[in-house]
Amino acid sequence: MNDDQLLRYSRHILLDEIGIEGQERLLAAHAVVVGAGGLGSPAALYLGAAGVGRITLIDDDEVDLTNLQRQIAHTQSRVGQAKVDSAREAILARNPEVRVDTLRQRADAALLERLLPEADVVLDCSDNYATRQMVNAACVRHRRPLVSGAAIRFDAQISVFDPRQAGSACYACVFDPAESPEETRCATLGVFAPLVGIVGSLQAAEALKLLSQAGTPLTGKLLMLDARTMEWTRMNLSRHPNCPVCGTAV
């Protein structure tokens, strides 16, 4: 690290759990963020501010006025702009040294097959069940840790699925990919504005812990938040022996 980096990341370097070695791991890391909306905004901003060397943003949507109530990477002046470009601009305004790659498209199997072999962590900040299952399956195939978050109304959840660890559940162990649940979108049900900030920030925290090797990730745990009362519930997760995704993984 150069002198400017030592100063920029000094508050991380002061932490015994991170230090210079952990910060250097962040600078050398590549994080893939699927979704640049409510969850992806705070997640990507914190990854960039913390010095993750390369961030790939995937989203096919553009900034809409209704997004501004909660999607903090975007601004009034960028309404109509691609969300990935808007988020990239916001990240680089805070840390111009970060490499931010943008893909204005939906995450599909072909894209994930190309990206994940060179990724160190994946953050699922998407808003639909099919994409979550697709991202999970790709992470299992390529043995990449997945930080999964979701939020709707006043309810949220976050977990880490790490196929590198024996016995670690994957997303499909908990949420059956054969099911077709009715999509619950904030466009029809609403979402409490700070809730996505809470969950997206937690996703960034878990990703930074994984990358820097600091602390204990949420692997094998599911945290659920009821923001009406600000009460957290923690569940233990285990790998399902008959899981159609990780149960058949080689």
Residues in CB range of 188: below 8 A, 6 or more apart = none
The DSSP bridge partners found for residue 225 are 156, 232
Burial class (CB in 10 A: 0-12, 13-18, 19+), 147: buried
Largest CA distance in the chain: 53
The answer to whether residue 139 is catalytic is no
The single residue of 125, 139, 173, 186 carrying the catalytic annotation is 186
- Residue numbers annotated as active site: 186
